[in-house]
Structures are given as C-alpha cells and as structure tokens.
A = this chain, B = another copy of it.
Amino acid sequence: MGRTSDANERLMDAALDLIWEESYGAITIDDICKRAGVAKGSFYYFFSSKSELAVAALERMWLEVSKPKMDGIFSPSVEPLIRIRTYLASMYDFQAEIKQKHGKVLGCPVMSLGSETCTCTDEQAVGAKIRELFARKRRYYESAIRDALAEGSIEPGDPGDKATAMAGLIDGILSQARILNDPEVLRALPDLAMRILGAKSPAQTTTAKA
C-alpha cells in the first residue's frame, strides 16, 4: 500500500543522461533533480548520495539496455566473428544517431565515468561498479573469441588477452570519437578488431550503411 512513484527511475535516467552529456563532476544533485522533475526531498528519500545514485543508474542501464542488446548480438547462433563485427558496426550507427539528436558524439558513459572516478577515494563504489560492468562485457567478447578459436578463424592466443586488447581498442576509439566529436573514426572498428584478434580472413558483415 501507500503512494506509488517512478521518481526512482526518473532520477536514474536523468543522472545517466547528464553524466553522459557532461560529466560526473560537472553535475550537481540539484541538476539531476531538475532534469528528473523531482524535488530534493525525494532524491534523498531514494538515494543517499550522488555516487549511490550513479551506481544504481549503471546497474539499471545494464539490465534495461546493455544486456538485452548484447544478448541479441552475441547470440551463439551467429558465427563468432560476425557477432563481433555486428556489435562494432552498431556502435557507429548508434553514435552517429546520437550526434544527429544531440549535436554531439557522446561515446560510452561507462568509459568516461570510469576514467573520471576510478582514482577518487570518495567514489570507490562507482569505480567498483564500472569494473564490474567492464568484466560483464568482457565475457561476451571472450566467449566469441573462444568460439572463433575453436573454429580456427583467428590465430591462436589467450582469449583473455585478446578480449582485453579488443576492449581497449573499442573504448579508445569511442573516446576519440567523443573528444573529436566525430563518429567517422568508428567506421574502421570492425576491421581493426579483426586485425587485433588475428583473424585469418577479414570476415564480412553488412557494413554500417553510408
């Protein structure tokens, strides 16, 4: 019983949007409340601090957005290198679309937030959550890489190392796209990943439409 509410979710969405559009340090609790259309009292009813909200928002994003999307793309029913190429091609599409809407390439909020908070002692909780999300994504990469190794479509090597390298490449190119405000650098991602993984033939996908 009692009153019902979605202020909870509105706050998480607003926080994530603002962090993405600006940065964690640049936004205040008041900003988040304003964007969410929620009063300060309600904020503190649900969350005890900005960092607690950020952690909850990240988990929500994973469950509502990232996981479903990755489950679809990294389906074991698809050839492993095609999974990876499809995933990477979708990044260009996504960032280009964001640039259309926002006028700015925003990159990956997990990456930006991670780099910003990971060394800050007051925000260990956020840093830990970020590392958790990185590890979850890595499992998809690693699984596809193991399958590719099994079918012999990439050169031998430790799947963990290959996944780390690919994750680094992806995050780096995404960050560059954000900093340069240019989605075009993402175009090369599928081919670059094939090189990093040591693919024997540069498996084709429907490339991102021009």
Contact = CB atoms under 8 A, between A and B. Distances in A.
Interface of A: 21-26, 104, 106-107, 111-112, 114-120, 127, 130-131, 134, 161, 164-165, 167-176, 178-181, 185, 188, 192, 195-196, 198
The CB with the most chain B CB atoms within 10 A, among A104, A168, A178, A185, is that of: A168
B179 A134 contact: yes
A178 to B, nearest CB: 6
Contact of A164 (B114, B115, B176): B176
A119 B111 CA distance: 14
A191 to B, nearest CB: 9
A181 B104 CA distance: 30
A164 B185 contact: yes
A contact face: mostly helix, strand, loop, or mixed: helix
Contacts of A106: 119
Contact of A116 (B21, B112, B168): B112
Nearest to A127: B179
Nearest to A197: B195
Contacts of A164: 176, 185, 188
B119 A22 contact: yes
28 contacts: A21-B119, A23-B24, A23-B25, A23-B116, A23-B119, A106-B119, A111-B175, A112-B116, A114-B179, A115-B115, A118-B178, A118-B181, A119-B178, A130-B179, A134-B176, A134-B179, A164-B176, A165-B173, A165-B188, A167-B176, A168-B192, A169-B192, A169-B196, A170-B172, A171-B176, A172-B175, A175-B175, A195-B198
